[in-house]
Amino acid sequence: MKIGVLALQGDFAEHIAMLRKLNVEASEVRLPEHLNGLDGLIIPGGESTTIGKLAVAYNLMEPLKQFGQRHAIWGTCAGAIFLSKDVSRDQPLLGLMDIKVKRNAFGRQIDSFETDLDIPELKLATGSTLPYHAVFIRAPIIESVSGDAKILASVPDGRIVAAQQGHLLATSFHPELTGDTRFHEYFLSLAD
């Protein structure tokens, strides 16, 4: 299995380190041809506006949309925003997932936080019953899901922070910033 990580901006290096920890071949994607031969793609956290502008500049928008028709893509934080159909403002989006996202929904940088989440699918897929410790940094929330997108996780007040639609995955938080590889393992099961 070979997984690419979009490496235009943001914390792509941390995702690559997680994949290598799981003994998965991982490569940086900066140009359309870097998508060739990949089984899945991760879009990292960072700034969704910057990632979008660079994707337009490098002619990656169409190739990424086409890749997502057939292959697994996982967006973390800014990556989840970039995957969505609607962010209530004008910025380049892949529009692959039927989710509506609100940027910076938990406040500013100082309002970044960590919390334990209960994620039934993750427990099922990995056989581990431990709660999932999630790191939120100027995180978006998923305001709503539609079509065949489903909710994977919410914070205790009910705000949605993870969703899945077939082989597409979106998380508001950053699994690449913890030592816990379970979310990456879950994504690999979708890419397989």
Amino acid at 13: A
For β-strands 150-154 and 141-145, DSSP reports them as unpaired
The rounded distance, in Å, linking the Cα atoms of 105 and 84 is 15
| Binding status of residue 137 toward ligand GLN by CB under 6 A | yes
Q: Stretches 25-33, 42-50, 114-122, 150-158: which one binds ligand GLN (CB under 6 A)?
A: 42-50
Q: Which of residues 14-33 bind ligand GLN (CB under 6 A)?
A: none
Residue 184 annotated as catalytic: no
From CA 83, how far away is CA 78, in angstroms rounded? 9
Instruction: Assess 48 for contact with ligand GLN (CB under 6 A).
Output: yes
To 5 degrees, how large is the angle CA 21–CA 78–CA 49? 135
Asked about 185 being catalytic, the answer comes back as no
143 binds ligand GLN (CB under 6 A): no
Residue 26 neighbours by CB under 8 Å, 6+ apart: 2, 3, 4, 5, 15, 16, 19, 20
Establish whether 34 is a catalytic residue: no
User: Considering beta carbons, is residue 29 or 77 the nearer one to ligand GLN?
Assistant: 77
Q: Which residues bind ligand GLN (CB under 6 A)?
A: 45-48, 77-78, 81, 103-104, 137-138
Catalytic residue list? 77, 174, 176
